[in-house]
Structure 1
Amino acid sequence: MAKSKAKQSAAWVIVVLLLIGLLGFGAGGLSGTIRSIGTVGDKSIPVVQYQRALNEQIRAFEAQVGTPVSFVQAQAIGLDQQVLNGVIAERTLDNEAAKLGLSVGDERVREEVLRVPGFRGLDGGFDREAYRSSLQRNGMTEAEFETSIREEAARTLLQGAIVDGVEAPQAYADTLARYIGEQRSITWATLTADDLTQPVPGPTDADIQTFYDENPDQFTAPETRAITYAWLTPDMIQDDVTVDATAVRQLYDDRIAQYVRPERRLVERLVYLDQTEADAAIAAITAEETTFEDLVAERGLALTDVDMGDVDENDLGAAGEAVFATNPGDIVGPFETDFGPALFRMNAVLAADETTFDEAEPELRAELAASRARRVIDDSREGINDLLAGGARLEDLADQTDLRIATIDWSTENRDDIAAYDSFRNAAATVAEGDFPDLFELEDGGIFTLRLDGITPPALRPLADVKDAAADAWQVARTQQAVLEEAEAVAAELTATAGFETVALVATSEENLTRRSFVEGTPPGFIQRVFEMETGEVITIDAGTFAAIVRLETQSVPAADDETLTADRDVFANSASAGIAQDIFEVFNAEIQRDTDVAINPAAVTAVHTSFQ
């Protein structure tokens, strides 16, 4: 029970910190009269709740894709609607909890407020003024904040009442664990074109014609889209950007550790629990009774575990002077470290390395220029969007801004120039004739807009244009066919007991394979095919450029007390229980949403969205 309460308290601290840390994003752009974006039953949806959830979802998506995401992009993929649906679902639970009379007392709310570090004064105690001003900055009153804590607690109680104690049938976990834990042992070999007794002759004109006729997809040109686009990248204006010399010098000074590196050593460190063990170890090395490698192995370690990499003298503390005075291969110590007495082996000397400011300046200046160019482009977005909204054509943009206009016959095969950018290819694949020319971002901080001028549908290329490619493709296909035929003949000669050497093949044995195993050098689906085999069976598998000949030697199931089986059973049981609980909760949530009136104010939602732009 105490452990459960501790977990709940820790969770509450996180919840309250999130409320404080995320509440007010964009709040400055809203009118103080807008407090809610709608109602769910008897519960209003506070503006700050929707703002917080929307900001959090956008930041999470940015972390997922690894690049900044504008609000326009977030809207394009439906993040705003996902967040709104989530907030409605949350407030539906709050409304249901209130109808059921679920709540927590003032003392519980008080405890959670007092736990928030941001509400503490210099003496570490609760500071009423810090509490009030922090909430005021985030657009909340004390009553609203404390109500949010109370509602979160009630919602947690309701969710717990629905899903706590849900367990999956034990038979499900047992069956799945046994299935995953089954093992197979095989012997296998490969047969390639080099193993063919007769080389495959080249194709005749009739062979090429037949192959061309039977495989039109291989010789069909993809859809081509004629696109006009206007774009601007940092590279285009980087040379025209002025970079302050002081900023270049400052950047060099900030990275001085990167450009001026003192003499270093490659060092290994073996730490002991006490001085006596360390003294005995260095004595044994001095007497040539053991080696550093043996001492590492005796501790159950590998050399990689004791490798410190390249370090300077200061990194080594008390051992620094001695280590830097030794020759490569020498062992010194023991010296006291933060982890205990240790022996040090110095393996190599790395000379001091210095890149002067004059040497680094071109690179630093280019970096700052690129950064400045990205800011210039970013600052130009609003003006360009205004021109587009006013009906400007792409050609007009090229005349009135720094955007450069060009055309491209784009297909999925084209990855040149602007088509090298994923963002352009995605836009080019979906743009339709007559679409409003939105402004898009490029991965390097550039921007572009585009217009579809026409589409050429996929078309079969004439044989005369692809004859060489067709001949090569026929040769590859026919050679693989010959390899598979040879492999089938070889497999037919193998029995459940005959060695692979009887068919002049070098075989490899793989023991204790499971369905989660991977055998290097095998094609996709290899393990699945192995688990479909019977003991003693020999099969051939088409690997695309070679054939695999496989014989199943043994198959087994794990013992009931196998540790791996037990661990898997627990994992599957917990996962299934969580899944069932989630399904039950979703059904419950959907049911109460059907019985709850929801009213959303579109103008208020739009106002929130405006604050993000």
Structure 2
Amino acid sequence: MAEGKKRGNKAMSVVVWMLMAMLVLGLGGFGVTNFGTNTQNIATVGDQEVDANAYARALQQRLQDLSQQTGQSFTLAQAQQFGLDAQVRQQLFSSAALQNEAEKIGLSVGDKVVADQLRDTPAFAGSDGFNRATYERVLEQNGLTPSGYETSLRESIARSLLVGAVSGGFAAPQPVTDALYGYIAERRALSALPVTEADLPTPVPEPTEDDLRAFYDAHSDQFMAPETRQITYAALLPETVAPNLPVDDAALRDLYQSRIDEFVQPERRLVERLVFSDDAAAQAAMDRVTAGTSFETLVSERGLELSDIDLGDVAKGDLGAAGDAVFALQEPGVVGPFATDLGPALFRMNGILSAHEVTFDEARDDLATEFQADAARRAIADRREALDDLLAGGATVEDLANEPDVTLNTIDYSEATDDPIAGYPAFRNAAEAAEEGDFPELIALEDGGLAALRLDSITPAAPIPFDQARDAVTEAWRADALHTARMARANEIAAAVTEGAALADFGAVTRVPEVARDGSIPSAPASLVGTAFDMDDGAAKAVEAPDWIGVLRVDAVRPAAQDGDGSAALKQQLAAQLEGGLAQDAQQLFTQSVADEAGIQINQSVIDAVHAQIP
């Protein structure tokens, strides 16, 4: 057994502290959970068991981290859409695989190493350093025992030693670093000349009849009428039934009262909330705002957009402890920090919305319409079985139209149909799936209505006759002719510049004295810069990009500077990134290898039981 010693291994220290933070700070509420199964393991990796409680704790901690990062609460179902649960399981499986390998080769650490780590943990410290009573109390609060925690800590240190042995010592190859630096730090001086219709020597001529017919014949696929389905349908819609239904005034008043918050709104504010990990970070941010730093800067430094922290319009009671301060602002401003469920936060008030009241009499007509529409949906639902029985008995869509409030119509259906009935996705799906000779079936529409249809015939897709398509053909011909003329002019200018002419002789030029590969040219597509970096010094080229045709010239190629503090710093950064990438790749490959060798057996029922306990 290899005894670990205290060392200045930064990688090991980071791994250990991350584990200890997860164990000490993120364990609350899961230590005594009973998931109702015969086993408490979500998986086994080799000889290692992945405990359900450990999975629950890690998953809950990840949810809390995500909420703090974004300032929004997340349910497990929402997080699963991003694959968060799978990421957590993969991390646990990887740790188990590394632990299995460590035990296989007899790698462990002694009691002194564990004791040193415990003494260095702030959560376990009293006024005079490590405090045994504090240590035991913290563990007890999180459903842990000293022996269990120390075993986990011992194993984590052993895993960090194993990972360090695999991923340590990588050095970035100097030729690779130099090549990457040369590529990233290279610069270009550029000139760009857009070529518009106004820059053409002569205007694009009007097309002749022969021009249009030739263009139509060559591009007939652009002027096609889609396949059309001739459909007869019967429909029972809420909008047809509702006007005939009585309105109960007492029910309207009850409806008004049930939605009183919608009609009688107190004064509200437009608010954004930026959550921080602790009080110190939040106060430091507020101090920066007071000193002149913009709120937008704080948000961008967190990797967030303003939309991520927007609370919308909120009432005073919605803001908890921040309510008084936010509502005391008479103009936009930032207040805080204040405690929230997600942690300490700063609040920015962006606008004041005055109190608003809509009386019952003012709302009555809208409420009556809603009341009748709701009653109509219920009435239609009550009739569904009877209509189903009619169709099952051989009734046609015409027969259905004899029933009260059922209407009969025909439609030439295609993808471009704008008939109201085609606005229902359920109707469109049925219309596209129908075949001639099918018996009609009842279709449940999204607003509570019902319909049934019959496909009478199909008109295949075909070219629109020239006379009907003339306007579209003329427009397409002109766009094509203008594009051709602009590209031809751009090529003429590029050739002239290549022969020595000045680009500025042909129009207003945009000059960029220096641009990097990730830079841009004002009022031009971003893709032009990439094109420029594929061109030689002094070259001029006609370029077509989205919504842009023109000439691009490389005025100068500036190789990456080899001297200066900035150059040295960038080289060091690139070397560090390369070394980190190599180390990470080595660690991932090693972890995957030992996991494959150990084998992973997953207990899905226990995983599902854990998920059921997390909101």
TM-score using structure 1 length: 0.59
Report what 1:513 is aligned to: 515
Q: Deviations over 1:454-473 (max 9, x none)?
A: 9xx9x968636876455434
Report what 2:149 is aligned to: 145
Q: Residues 472 and 530 (structure 1 numbering): CA distance in 2 closer, same or farther, change over 3 Å?
A: same
Q: Deviations over 1:422-470 (max 9, x none)?
A: xx9xxx9xxx99xxxxxxxxxxxxxx9xxxx99xx9x968636876455
Report what 1:529 is aligned to: 531
CA contact under 8 A between 1:541 and 1:548: conserved in structure 2? yes
2:485 equivalent among 482, 486, 489:
482
CA contact under 8 A between 2:46 and 2:600: conserved in structure 1? yes
Q: Distance in 2 between matches of 1:413 and 1:64?
A: 46
Report what 2:106 is aligned to: 101
Amino acid of the residue matched to residue 241 of structure 1? R
Q: Residues 223 and 65 (structure 1 numbering): CA distance in 2 closer, same or farther, change over 3 Å?
A: farther
Q: Distance in 1 between matches of 2:612 and 2:562?
A: 61
Report what 1:92 is aligned to: 97
Task: Describe the SS at the equivalent of 1:102.
Answer: coil
Report what 2:464 is aligned to: 463
Q: Residues 223 and 172 (structure 1 numbering): CA distance in 2 closer, same or farther, change over 3 Å?
A: farther
Task: Report the CA distance between 1:482 and its aligned residue.
Answer: 1.0
Q: Distance in 1 between matches of 2:16 and 2:470?
A: 70
Asked if residue 112 in structure 1 is aligned to residue 117 in structure 2, the reply is yes
CA contact under 8 A between 2:537 and 2:555: conserved in structure 1? yes
Q: Residues 556 and 223 (structure 1 numbering): CA distance in 2 closer, same or farther, change over 3 Å?
A: farther
1:605 equivalent among 589, 600, 607:
607
CA contact under 8 A between 2:109 and 2:154: conserved in structure 1? yes
Q: Residues 551 and 21 (structure 1 numbering): CA distance in 2 closer, same or farther, change over 3 Å?
A: same
Asked if residue 494 in structure 1 is aligned to residue 512 in structure 2, the reply is no
Q: Distance in 1 between matches of 2:543 and 2:549?
A: 6
Asked if residue 193 in structure 1 is aligned to residue 197 in structure 2, the reply is yes
Report what 1:288 is aligned to: none
Please, which runs of 5 or more residues in structure 2 have no aligned partner?
229-254, 269-314, 336-349, 359-380, 386-412, 435-447
Q: Residues 259 and 57 (structure 1 numbering): CA distance in 2 closer, same or farther, change over 3 Å?
A: closer
Q: Distance in 2 between matches of 1:61 and 1:221?
A: 51
Amino acid of the residue matched to residue 99 of structure 1? K
CA contact under 8 A between 2:167 and 2:587: conserved in structure 1? yes
Task: Report the CA distance between 1:483 and its aligned residue.
Answer: 1.1
Report what 2:49 is aligned to: 44
Task: Report the CA distance between 1:88 and its aligned residue.
Answer: 1.4
Task: Report the CA distance between 1:2 and its aligned residue.
Answer: 10
Task: Report the CA distance between 1:485 and its aligned residue.
Answer: 1.1
Task: Report the CA distance between 1:170 and its aligned residue.
Answer: 0.4
CA contact under 8 A between 1:94 and 1:151: conserved in structure 2? yes
Q: Residues 600 and 549 (structure 1 numbering): CA distance in 2 closer, same or farther, change over 3 Å?
A: closer
Task: Report the CA distance between 1:206 and its aligned residue.
Answer: 6.0
Asked if residue 156 in structure 1 is aligned to residue 164 in structure 2, the reply is no
Task: Describe the SS at the equivalent of 1:558.
Answer: coil
Report what 1:15 is aligned to: 19
Q: Distance in 2 between matches of 1:108 and 1:200?
A: 83
Report what 1:579 is aligned to: 581
Task: Report the CA distance between 1:491 and its aligned residue.
Answer: 2.5
Task: Describe the SS at the equivalent of 2:522.
Answer: coil
- RMSD of the alignment, in Å? 5.4
Asked if residue 183 in structure 1 is aligned to residue 187 in structure 2, the reply is yes
Task: Report the CA distance between 1:90 and its aligned residue.
Answer: 1.3
CA contact under 8 A between 2:227 and 2:461: conserved in structure 1? no
Please, which runs of 5 or more residues in structure 1 have no aligned partner?
225-236, 265-308, 313-352, 364-391, 397-408, 434-447
Task: Report the CA distance between 1:45 and its aligned residue.
Answer: 1.1
Q: Distance in 1 between matches of 2:518 and 2:217?
A: 41
Q: Residues 260 and 143 (structure 1 numbering): CA distance in 2 closer, same or farther, change over 3 Å?
A: closer
Q: Deviations over 1:244-274 (max 9, x none)?
A: 9999589447644444446x9xxxxxxxxxx
> How many percent of aligned residue pairs carry the same amino acid?
28
CA contact under 8 A between 2:543 and 2:550: conserved in structure 1? yes
Task: Report the CA distance between 1:157 and its aligned residue.
Answer: 0.9
Q: Distance in 1 between matches of 2:256 and 2:470?
A: 46
Of 246-255 and 523-532, deviating more is 246-255
Q: Structure 2 matches for 1:226-305, cutoff 5 A?
A: 240-243=258-261, 251-252=315-316, 255-261=323-329
CA contact under 8 A between 1:480 and 1:545: conserved in structure 2? no
Q: Residues 116 and 206 (structure 1 numbering): CA distance in 2 closer, same or farther, change over 3 Å?
A: farther
Q: Structure 2 matches for 1:370-519, cutoff 5 A?
A: 463=464, 468-469=471-472, 471-495=474-498, 497-501=500-504, 503-519=505-521
Q: Distance in 2 between matches of 1:410 and 1:605?
A: 47
Amino acid of the residue matched to residue 496 of structure 2? E
Amino acid of the residue matched to residue 184 of structure 2? I
Amino acid of the residue matched to residue 179 of structure 1? Y
Task: Report the CA distance between 1:89 and its aligned residue.
Answer: 1.6
Amino acid of the residue matched to residue 522 of structure 1? A
Amino acid of the residue matched to residue 39 of structure 1? T
Q: Distance in 2 between matches of 1:214 and 1:124?
A: 89
Report what 1:556 is aligned to: 558
CA contact under 8 A between 1:178 and 1:565: conserved in structure 2? no
Q: Distance in 1 between matches of 2:130 and 2:225?
A: 71
Q: Residues 242 and 116 (structure 1 numbering): CA distance in 2 closer, same or farther, change over 3 Å?
A: farther
Q: Distance in 1 between matches of 2:42 and 2:201?
A: 78
Task: Describe the SS at the equivalent of 1:532.
Answer: coil
Q: Distance in 1 between matches of 2:73 and 2:149?
A: 30
Task: Report the CA distance between 1:81 and its aligned residue.
Answer: 3.8
1:53 equivalent among 51, 54, 58:
58
Task: Describe the SS at the equivalent of 1:494.
Answer: helix
Task: Report the CA distance between 1:592 and its aligned residue.
Answer: 1.5
Task: Describe the SS at the equivalent of 2:513.
Answer: strand
Q: Distance in 2 between matches of 1:524 and 1:169?
A: 32
Asked if residue 360 in structure 1 is aligned to residue 355 in structure 2, the reply is yes
Aligned residues: 449
TM-score using structure 2 length: 0.58
CA contact under 8 A between 2:108 and 2:158: conserved in structure 1? yes
